[in-house]
Structure 1
């Protein structure tokens, strides 16, 4: 179809479909920004607002679930054909869009479907009515539009665009301050009509007053091989949890993740305990068994594995709250009462934070302590000895630094502890997603038990170059022993050196252990599989 931006269809679903299609095949961040910005400038309300909701993950259509989509396509094509195609393509929405039978009425002859029209219908459907209505919409769309509709409906775009990137494109499109967009975002609801009205000079600037809004996190650069003067920088532990921002305004409390997602529902115990007006930055952790431990040696924080039991849950049972009690170790203060203190230097904000923390529930909040080190050499020794399960490394913060969103050179540094490594044997491989959907790029690997068998200890897909990916893909295809749906079992001959941050006990894994942040450090073509590491070696590292 000719892509004429003045054609009516190009201001509707097809324009959004074309945007998604272009974004999928564009790797350049700058090019992605230009594509989204152009779409937002050319597309009328409320379509562009709903498109932004889809791109930022703020679109919720509870009536449409992946199981519903699978059921619809398996009524129309051979289920075996669909499943084999899905395994090859690597994406359900793309597979269904391509396999869906040609509509009786050609898409160009049907009444154009707008993004807003599709969202409005799907938002108000019950689960009982959703299948028939979704099928009717798919019947009047072409393949590109079907793909866009299904991606939008399920809420999982997976097109290489983060919420931050989409908001950056919005700011670029209309020459706005990104931090201001971030602060306003959570005070507004899709399709963000007041925001676009203000952008185009047709309304007043939306206000975030009396709304617990998100403020962009201050981030750190890696320290690498540099050294800093501790007269200029304060050092504190980098805790291994989830960075959160807690905001309390006008009787409302919200918890936000680093990406600006509202995670209050997953941690109602923490939200209920925070009733002081203000906004703070800290690390969300779970209490460990060492309740009496000091802050310097971990302060009773359990490993990240314990925190994972509560992540992503929309509702949390009383049992879960009791078994995995959450708390926040506070790093910084952004708003003290009603006063925005982000422009103050770190030393003044630290004094404010030290005065603020005692007013909070000590079972839910404590203060991340500054590491006492006379100089950088002493700090190196302290860091080298840190193997607590909850410690990920060291943070270095310039004492005169304001709190500014994003990464600013010279202000904050993260100095992560050196990773652990193990030589493991590839056991299984699975196709990836997105641009890796044609390659076997997700690898399960194991270590040897005392009985001489391989036990799976982790799964990794990162750390390799494109050339190494192609080499591993060839190995999988040429050394397959068995197929289990999308998974291939391979000959146990290839050794991968795996880097990881820590090892935790796990009842979900047959080996009894799970790695934290496993990634492929090297492909060990030089090492026989029999010389890979033993499971007992990893068990000794369990924290």
Structure 2
């Protein structure tokens, strides 16, 4: 645990990409195989659950620290992270120390679900007594399933590839899909050269880069395909060994969530992997993303939900054909293979090809681009016909040309502190527009879009203009105006404003505007009417 906690803290202290890769590489070179596997589990976003009650953990920590709960809560609101708060308030004994490995601590945690409440308390207090401050912080993050770290999967893959002297594309594929650190070994997962691959394993997704400058800079239009950029759930459909698997880009196995697509197991050739978008689909055309949202996260799909939010799969690539990895084929050849597959599927509206846009000059795409929203699309995907299917976000072969975001000018009314390095800064903001009664109505939260310098200036203002406190949330004097951009807008009965916006973000700080000049709820409703 000491070695992993040190790695965690060192990664948190640096923003330099190469430094992070070197730190992880050294860990993969020196840690035990068991610990490397558990570290990889955490780095790839897998967070085991140990069924602990966070409220009880707070109470046990406050009792152990011998402080009243109100003081614990104030400390928590100031720090912004529960695991870190507990690690800071607990008393320390220089005599206590533990040499348990990361793997042994996971074994320790896995005993919790079978324990009584009293046994859990003793078990957790015993762990806190053995660990240093930094180790306790990491232990708490594992305990409560809140472990996150500021490294992308691309950097993890790179570090592991360098440590094992293995091609990074191979590593990226091996760590995809379903695997359980308690049911496999580092040797089997990483070093077996693919012999342990399971039938459900997806391929790493190829991601597009935002277009830079004018599309005419891409050269000869004849070298490129163009298609709509669909607004859905990026997914891979896998049919191997006579079993169908549906994976989302977030590495969630979602086969049961889309029963409309199960018919593909009877029409796809064995050994087929398709890449595309799951969208809500009705009357032979996509529906807005908010329709799809009504069934995301539901454990049970009722007949009503299936009728009101039917889905289809829009395929735009094929990665495996007849059990053969064809990602090295050029895009044009893969497209031809995909069209052949689609032709052999009986007339089913649930499985569609993403149509290629017929154009000969870039000016034709320029003219068509403003119509993206009317086509329930986010813009264009532009793909080089000769390109292979690569891993991750690579510049040069796949580009996305998105439409400009919708936007309104809104007033900052609530703020909350961030976490980690931003635990002392107010970085989470709620924005409002003016209602008919001249009252501000909240409509969106946004966390990104400001520079570090601007965050510092906003934080300075907030700390000097707090009106009320509601737990960690602060009501702020309504003076600062920001342009808030968003990709989509829909009606919503769950929001006070009656409107929900998709992917809100701060576009710029409108220092030139006063609060009373911000937009109104009617402005938002006007945008909504335009894109209904």
- The alignment's TM-score, normalised by the length of structure 2, stands at 0.90
Q: Deviations over 1:489-537 (max 9, x none)?
A: 1111211111222211122210011221111111112112111111111
Gap runs ≥5 in structure 2: none
Give 3-state SS (helix, strand or coil) of 1:541's partner.
Answer: helix
What's 2:455 paired with?
A: 469
Give 3-state SS (helix, strand or coil) of 2:33's partner.
Answer: coil
Whichever structure has more helix as a proportion of its residues is 2
Q: Deviations over 1:37-77 (max 9, x none)?
A: 11111111312211221221224134335345334324434
Of 35, 38, 48, the residue aligned with 1:50 is 38
Whether the 8 Å CA contact 2:407–2:486 is kept in 1: the answer is yes
Displacement of 1:385 in angstroms is 2.1
What's 1:10 paired with?
A: none
Of 490, 495, 498, the residue aligned with 1:512 is 498
Quickly say closer, same or farther: Cα 1:80–1:389, change in 2 above 3 A. Answer: farther
Distance in structure 1 (CA, Å) of the matches to 2:358 and 2:455? 45
For residues 35-184 of structure 1, the aligned pairs below 5 Å read 35-64=23-52, 66-76=54-64, 77-102=67-92, 106-108=95-97, 111-126=98-113, 128-129=115-116, 130-184=120-174
For residues 414-493 of structure 1, the aligned pairs below 5 Å read 414-493=400-479
Of 329, 351, 354, the residue aligned with 1:368 is 354
Quickly say closer, same or farther: Cα 1:156–1:379, change in 2 above 3 A. Answer: same
Of 5, 17, 35, the residue aligned with 1:29 is 17
Whether the 8 Å CA contact 2:408–2:484 is kept in 1: the answer is yes
Distance in structure 2 (CA, Å) of the matches to 1:107 and 1:268? 52
Displacement of 1:244 in angstroms is 1.3
Distance in structure 2 (CA, Å) of the matches to 1:20 and 1:39? 11
Distance in structure 2 (CA, Å) of the matches to 1:26 and 1:270? 46
Distance in structure 2 (CA, Å) of the matches to 1:535 and 1:151? 40
What's 2:312 paired with?
A: 327
Quickly say closer, same or farther: Cα 1:420–1:437, change in 2 above 3 A. Answer: same
Distance in structure 2 (CA, Å) of the matches to 1:265 and 1:90? 37
Of 271, 277, 286, the residue aligned with 1:283 is 277
Displacement of 1:311 in angstroms is 3.6
Distance in structure 1 (CA, Å) of the matches to 2:512 and 2:409? 12
Give 3-state SS (helix, strand or coil) of 1:126's partner.
Answer: helix
Gap runs ≥5 in structure 1: 1-12, 294-298
Quickly say closer, same or farther: Cα 1:125–1:166, change in 2 above 3 A. Answer: same
Whether the 8 Å CA contact 1:269–1:321 is kept in 2: the answer is no
Moved more, 190-199 or 465-474: 190-199
Displacement of 1:128 in angstroms is 4.1
Q: Deviations over 1:193-233 (max 9, x none)?
A: 5443686xxx7434255522121112222212231433111
